[in-house]
Structure 1
Amino acid sequence: MKKTLLALAAVCAMTSGAAFAQQSSAEGPLMVRVRAVHLNSANGGSTNPNLDLSINNKFIPELDVSYFFTPNIAAELILTYPQKQDIRSAGADIGSLKHLPPTLLAQYHFTNFGGFKPYVGAGINYTRFSSVKFSPAVAHLQADVGRNSWGGALQLGVDIPLSKNMYLNFDVKKVYISTDVKSAGAKIGKFKVDPVLAGVGLGWRF
């Protein structure tokens, strides 16, 4: 009887292990998410208080691709297309710019919360500025604006299963973006945008 019970236990253990492996492999290592994201610029201000620069808040589309090295460890690349923003000084529009902010994050996914899969991430953001235009009243700033920015990025989110391989996603990121402001070729300050991006979307695991 004891040998029979041990044999049954071994069979059950192997069966459950095989089922778990099959379930994990069924999802695959890739996950693609699409999100609607609200960009809330912290507008950290400028090192030159006379500039008093800011940009507008707006909703933007976002696409990300994640690769899972293990059930817990993943890398995520976040993309969008160049976003147009209004440039303001003391609340008044003085121009516009476009920025393209791809972000690469390393993530840790928690797998002990049942169906909920919360995660945290940290990484780096590269923002490319283009099509910078200033109104004639501040044309002296047209000479040059820092064209790119490197900064850190922090992330907190959760994936909630809806059906096989489909998830509802909530995600919040803090991204550190800044650029030099120049007049006649001379640096006159640094503008810190440092937005918070809160998003909701859907994800698919392959």
Structure 2
Amino acid sequence: MKKQHLSLIALAAAAAIPGQAAAKAGDVQFKIFATYVAPDGKISDVKLDRIGLPAGTQTKADDNVTPTVAIEYYVADHISLETIAGVTQHDVNGRGALSGATLVSNAKIVPATLTLKYHFGKEGDIQPYVGAGPSYFIFIDEKPGATTRSLGATRQKMGDKFGAALQAGVDIPVNDKGLALSFDAKRYFLRPTATWYAGTTEVLKTRHRLDPWVISAGFAFRF
């Protein structure tokens, strides 16, 4: 369903005919969002296993809703650079042979992202956009879950990781003063590594397909 929503937004953007610039070079737009973060978290590779994971072990990161802000600078008519700020928190839970187990607890993520966006539409009209750019996921204060602690892990670390993001959305003007409703969808692609330790010794290392969907709704203010 989420993939379909993103595709529909992108098709609407592609169908729009550019007219008078929706914003001019040098404009700044500030957005305040409520954001739904839905990561995958599946294990793509077990690189080290000294605690004896049961055969068929798989994982899934839980979803979260968090506030985020975005700051956007128009480098030209229709073209902008956007960065986002926010922190989201997730547990990683077992599936398959470890269904219901908690493997990572309270991992906080800062998804540093910069996208180059192209905006469609005329001044005062609905303005779809598409974008893409790099991301760098910073993991903070993660801990081993109850299950991995019971297997001997005393510490856990998610490796910070570069990735990429695709983006599509739409700004819907509310008035002629720069206020708009904004809806945004991003899909990230990254493969971080999770490591568990017993003291200072690595006892488990896995690579994960994180690949979150990040769906946002809120208000935009253009200056």
- Quickly name the TM-score band, shorter chain normalised: 0.7 to 0.9
Asked if the contact 2:64/2:89 (under 8 Å) is kept, the reply is: no
Alpha-carbon shift at residue 188 of structure 1 (Å): 3.2
Q: Which residue does the alignment assign to 1:192?
A: 209
Give distance in 1, aligned partners of 2:58 and 2:147: 15
Identical positions, percent: 26
Alpha-carbon shift at residue 112 of structure 1 (Å): 4.6
Is 1:153 aligned with 2:165? yes
Aligned residues: 184
Q: Which residue does the alignment assign to 1:61?
A: 67
Asked if the contact 2:119/2:129 (under 8 Å) is kept, the reply is: yes
Give distance in 2, aligned partners of 1:137 and 1:178: 23
Segments of 5+ residues of structure 2 without an aligned counterpart are: 1-19, 47-54
Q: Which residue does the alignment assign to 1:73?
A: 79
Aligned with 2:28 (options 23, 27, 30) = 30
Give distance in 1, aligned partners of 2:147 and 2:23: 60
TM-score, normalised via structure 2 length? 0.73
Segments of 5+ residues of structure 1 without an aligned counterpart are: 1-19
More helix by share: 1
Give distance in 2, aligned partners of 1:47 and 1:179: 11
Change (3 A) 1:148 1:142: farther
Cα root mean square deviation, aligned: 2.6
Cα deviation code 1:80-115 (max 9, x no counterpart): 1x3221121114223311111121101111135960
Larger radius of gyration: 1
Query: AA paired with 1:156?
Result: A
Is 1:94 aligned with 2:111? no
Alpha-carbon shift at residue 33 of structure 1 (Å): 0.4
Change (3 A) 1:59 1:119: same
TM-score, normalised via structure 1 length? 0.78
Give distance in 2, aligned partners of 1:68 and 1:171: 17
Alpha-carbon shift at residue 143 of structure 1 (Å): 4.8
